[in-house]
Chain A
Amino acid sequence: MTTPDEIKTQEYLINMGPQHPSTHGVLRLLLKLEGEIVHNVEPHIGYIHSGIEKMCESLAYPQIVHLTDRMDYLSAHMNNEAVCLCVENAMGIEVPDRVRYIRTIMAELQRLASHQLWWCVMGMDLGALTTFFYGLRDREKVLDIFEETCGARLTVNYSVPGGVMFDIHPNFQKRVKDFIIYFKKKLPEYDQLLTGNVIFKERTKNIGILSLEDAISYGVTGPSGRASGFACDVRKHHPYSAYPLVQFNEALDTAGDTFARYRVRITEMWESLSIIEQLIDNIPGGDYAIKMKGVIKLPEGEFYQRVEAARGEFGVFIISDGKKNPYRLKFRSPGFSNLSALNVIAKGWKIADLVAIMSTLDLVIPDIDR
């Protein structure tokens, strides 16, 4: 007779992706499963490899901006802003206050759009398809504002070194205020649909816990890191643009589970609304950009600038040899570090939990595989 200890089930490998509905793009996860339990997750990246860093090294600085929004297309504005800030700091340029206000409002709108998409995909990954349509419906309003402001809806290309590309549209302030009123009514609906749902709580609470130590050692930033109690909000700790001028709370949680990561993002949406509210009525007059020379040359040296993108800390590191293109350029993308912690979080949970965990890490694949 066999005792339960002698009964060994077989471990088997399964490919999740590159065309799996919940790997969001071409991410391939090599799962080692026993039954439904995940024993190991091995992410295989490199299917989308676009070589953006290498391309940037042969481009002039104003041209680089047009590539960075293609990386994390859901925080396109923040990525562009990071490059612009880095170039401006290196050259010792102060941008007008108007630019700082506009950039901050745009960044927060972009964060809202990103979190809205994250929210609807999160619901969809858990099988609640309705959230997908509700989130997209609201995101459309933000994209309309983007379209009116700079012509782009997804890869928002608005910042240029020295300012923004155009002045804001005359309707901008009214539309943003309308959107705030609209979205403040819709956010509680999000809570009704998912946050308060029994099944949703069962699926997320105490599942996929990331400890503070692991969050720090893997460099998990953004809402995913803050849910573990890692105070890492660049807007708060290394303020840039108009962030020193506004009052807002860093959304923090200590549980570190899937539900905490969810809650942090919902709280961040409220905070973003409040930041926009504080700025939108006070946009100062003045130029929307300062006159820059046709060819921008950075002084020799190393420059680093970080911003808080929708998924976490986004950093631009430029080594300049004084020419019109960088000698070496490196991006610190939040998605890459966040993905590296996936194995730690997901080990020992079930496939269904892996899907939930992956959605709360909010991965964007071109951001991971640059």
Chain B
Amino acid sequence: MYDFSSLTEAIHKGLSAHMSPVATQAIEWVIIGVTVILFVALFGLFLVYAERKVCAFFQNRLGPMRVGPWGLLQTIADFIKLLMKELIQPAKADKFLYNLAPFIVIIVPFLTISVIPFAKGLQAFDFDIGVFFVTSVSAVGVIGVLLAGWSSNNKYSLIGAMRSGAQIVSYELSVGLSIITIAILAGSLQVSQIVEGQQATWFIFKGHIPAVIAFFVFVIAGTAETNRGPFDLAEAESELTAGFHTEYSGIKFAFFFLAEYVNLFIVAAIATTVFLGAWMPFHFGHFEGFNRIMDFIPPIFWFFGKVLAVIFLIMWFKWTFPRLRIDQILALEWKFLLPINLVNILIMAFIVLKGWHF
């Protein structure tokens, strides 16, 4: 298996041979920052393209194949269009908050991406509270949404913001609890240890029933947290025209849009890390030959393969389901997912205590 830490070690050694430790550290930070920003921008673009293609195949659409071969230039054209649009601001909007909101929304994915293990040794920060960090940081995004809705001076935006406030705060619980279920199984909150714990089998198999339940709860709650269909109540274009970002145009709108897609990636990446073994290849019992073959596939491909599979799952139900109503969505969380989750944690704790897992 290719270990990215050899690459990072080489960079670190090369840099520290020529300059002081402080300068080395500073340059390393810049490298990491630029990489993360580039990754977010490019992967965001790719996800927009992927979503267009997936929905085109679901809906017999012909649109996304006009610009470039297979419509490959479509997202680039979109991006240029969004960049060139005039930035409009409502006359009585709260100017400071109105302009601040898109940045708050976009900051969250950058923070969360720092703890995601892309491949062996390819992880920006490895906290001992990594998973806890992810859940707490991802809750910041809702502030941006609320600010955007409130400061736009538009009643539709306000309804959208209030809805998403209620929704994201509620589903945050389920996301957190389903991750904690696995943290119990892993015995650690540190991302690298959670990944190492899945050396033999991924947690979704290791923890069998409770882990599978937790996985489904996580995917549902994660979808709701990223405001995607069928839980896209904050947007709800048929009810609220565009919800909290009605009054945003051009690149500011693109920020919300990009944040949504990167959040989608993050949900998929966390699901992959926690349940599907991150970059760990698929190992099956003591079939050494089979396991050896699986090891030949580089970890980074394993990671992105799993992430894209989860992303496809989330896109799949977005493009087939109607939208729920706000009270139904909250009832689903408080009456079903949360109790299921709490019981699930107890079961998982019991199983770990008794050692009934694989």
- Cβ-based interface call for B156 (8 A): yes
Q: Would A127 and B238 be within 8 Å (CB), given that A133-B59, A134-B59, A197-B321 are in contact?
A: yes
A203 and B324 form a contact (CB under 8 A): yes
Quote the shortest CB–CB distance from A199 to chain B (angstroms): 5
- How far, in whole Å, are A44 and B232 apart by their CA atoms in the complex? 29
Q: Would A352 and B236 be within 8 Å (CB), given that A21-B241, A128-B321, A134-B59 are in contact?
A: yes
Closest A residue to B242 by CB, please name it. A21
Q: Using an 8 Å CB-CB cutoff, how does the interface string of A178-202 with B read, 1 for contact, 0 for none?
A: 0000000000000001100101101
- Cβ-based interface call for B173 (8 A): no
B322 and A36 form a contact (CB under 8 A): no
- Cβ-based interface call for B323 (8 A): yes
From B159, B237, B321, contact of A199 by CB (8 A): B321
Q: Would A126 and B59 be within 8 Å (CB), given that A12-B155, A200-B322, A353-B325 are in contact?
A: no
B58 and A130 form a contact (CB under 8 A): yes
- How far, in whole Å, are A203 and B60 apart by their CA atoms in the complex? 26
- Cβ-based interface call for B326 (8 A): yes
- Cβ-based interface call for B103 (8 A): no
Q: Would A127 and B155 be within 8 Å (CB), given that A21-B238, A133-B59, A351-B239 are in contact?
A: no
Q: Would A203 and B326 be within 8 Å (CB), given that A124-B238, A130-B59, A133-B61 are in contact?
A: no
B241 and A20 form a contact (CB under 8 A): yes
From A22, A125, A199, contact of B324 by CB (8 A): A199
- How far, in whole Å, are A232 and B241 apart by their CA atoms in the complex? 36
Q: Which of B299-330 contact A (CB under 8 A)?
A: 319-328
B322 and A123 form a contact (CB under 8 A): yes
Q: Which of A335-370 contact B (CB under 8 A)?
A: 350-353, 355
Q: Using an 8 Å CB-CB cutoff, how does the interface string of A113-124 with B read, 1 for contact, 0 for none?
A: 000000000011
Q: Which residues of B contact A200 (CB under 8 A)?
A: 322
B232 and A127 form a contact (CB under 8 A): yes
Q: Would A126 and B322 be within 8 Å (CB), given that A134-B59, A352-B239 are in contact?
A: yes
Q: Which residues of A contact B207 (CB under 8 A)?
A: none
Q: Which residues of A contact B321 (CB under 8 A)?
A: 127-128, 197, 199
CB-based A-B contact count at 8 angstroms: 77
- How far, in whole Å, are A87 and B323 apart by their CA atoms in the complex? 47
Give the most central of B60, B232, B319, B321: most A CB within 10 Å: B321
A352 and B326 form a contact (CB under 8 A): yes
Quote the shortest CB–CB distance from B302 to chain A (angstroms): 31
- Cβ-based interface call for A245 (8 A): no
Quote the shortest CB–CB distance from A168 to chain B (angstroms): 30
- Cβ-based interface call for A14 (8 A): yes
Quote the shortest CB–CB distance from B151 to chain A (angstroms): 18
B326 and A350 form a contact (CB under 8 A): yes
A199 and B230 form a contact (CB under 8 A): yes
- How far, in whole Å, are A129 and B320 apart by their CA atoms in the complex? 8
Closest A residue to B155 by CB, please name it. A14
- Cβ-based interface call for A137 (8 A): yes
Q: Which of A5-37 contact B (CB under 8 A)?
A: 12, 14, 20-22, 36
Quote the shortest CB–CB distance from A259 to chain B (angstroms): 12
Q: Which residues of B contact A355 (CB under 8 A)?
A: 238-239
B322 and A199 form a contact (CB under 8 A): yes
Quote the shortest CB–CB distance from B269 to chain A (angstroms): 26
Closest A residue to B320 by CB, please name it. A130
Closest B residue to A31 by CB, please name it. B155
- How far, in whole Å, are A53 and B237 apart by their CA atoms in the complex? 35
- Cβ-based interface call for B44 (8 A): no
B156 and A14 form a contact (CB under 8 A): yes
Q: Which of A300-317 contact B (CB under 8 A)?
A: none
- How far, in whole Å, are A14 and B322 apart by their CA atoms in the complex? 24
B60 and A127 form a contact (CB under 8 A): no
Closest B residue to A133 by CB, please name it. B59
A21 and B237 form a contact (CB under 8 A): yes
Q: Which residues of A contact B230 (CB under 8 A)?
A: 127, 199
Q: Using an 8 Å CB-CB cutoff, how does the interface string of A266-285 with B read, 1 for contact, 0 for none?
A: 00000000000000000000
Q: Which of B183-239 contact A (CB under 8 A)?
A: 229-230, 232, 236-239
Q: Would A134 and B322 be within 8 Å (CB), given that A14-B156, A36-B159, A127-B229 are in contact?
A: no
A202 and B324 form a contact (CB under 8 A): yes
Q: Which of A308-336 contact B (CB under 8 A)?
A: none
Q: Which residues of B contact A130 (CB under 8 A)?
A: 58-59, 319-320
Q: Would A352 and B325 be within 8 Å (CB), given that A129-B59, A134-B60 are in contact?
A: yes
B320 and A126 form a contact (CB under 8 A): no
Closest B residue to A349 by CB, please name it. B325
Q: Using an 8 Å CB-CB cutoff, how does the interface string of B227-264 with A read, 1 for contact, 0 for none?
A: 00110100011111100000000000000000000000
Quote the shortest CB–CB distance from B53 to chain A (angstroms): 15
- How far, in whole Å, are A88 and B240 apart by their CA atoms in the complex? 48
A128 and B241 form a contact (CB under 8 A): no
A197 and B159 form a contact (CB under 8 A): no
Quote the shortest CB–CB distance from B292 to chain A (angstroms): 43
- How far, in whole Å, are A301 and B283 apart by their CA atoms in the complex? 89
Q: Which of A250-267 contact B (CB under 8 A)?
A: none
Quote the shortest CB–CB distance from B63 to chain A (angstroms): 10
Q: Which residues of B contact A137 (CB under 8 A)?
A: 60
Closest B residue to A353 by CB, please name it. B325
Quote the shortest CB–CB distance from B58 to chain A (angstroms): 6
B323 and A128 form a contact (CB under 8 A): yes
From A194, A351, A353, contact of B322 by CB (8 A): A194
- How far, in whole Å, are A265 and B141 apart by their CA atoms in the complex? 43
Q: Which residues of A contact B241 (CB under 8 A)?
A: 20-21
- How far, in whole Å, are A126 and B229 apart by their CA atoms in the complex? 11
13 A–B contacts, CB within 8 A, in A order: A14-B156, A20-B241, A22-B239, A126-B322, A127-B238, A129-B55, A130-B58, A133-B61, A193-B320, A202-B328, A203-B325, A352-B323, A352-B325
For the complex with contacts A14-B156, A21-B238, A197-B322, 6 further pairs of A-B residues with Cβ separation under 8 Å are: A127-B237, A129-B59, A133-B61, A199-B321, A351-B239, A352-B236
Q: 5 shortest A-B CB distances, which residue pairs?
A: A127-B323, A126-B322, A133-B59, A128-B322, A22-B238
Q: Chain A: residues with CB nearer than 8 A to chain B?
A: 12, 14, 20-22, 36, 123-130, 132-134, 137, 193-194, 197, 199-200, 202-203, 350-353, 355
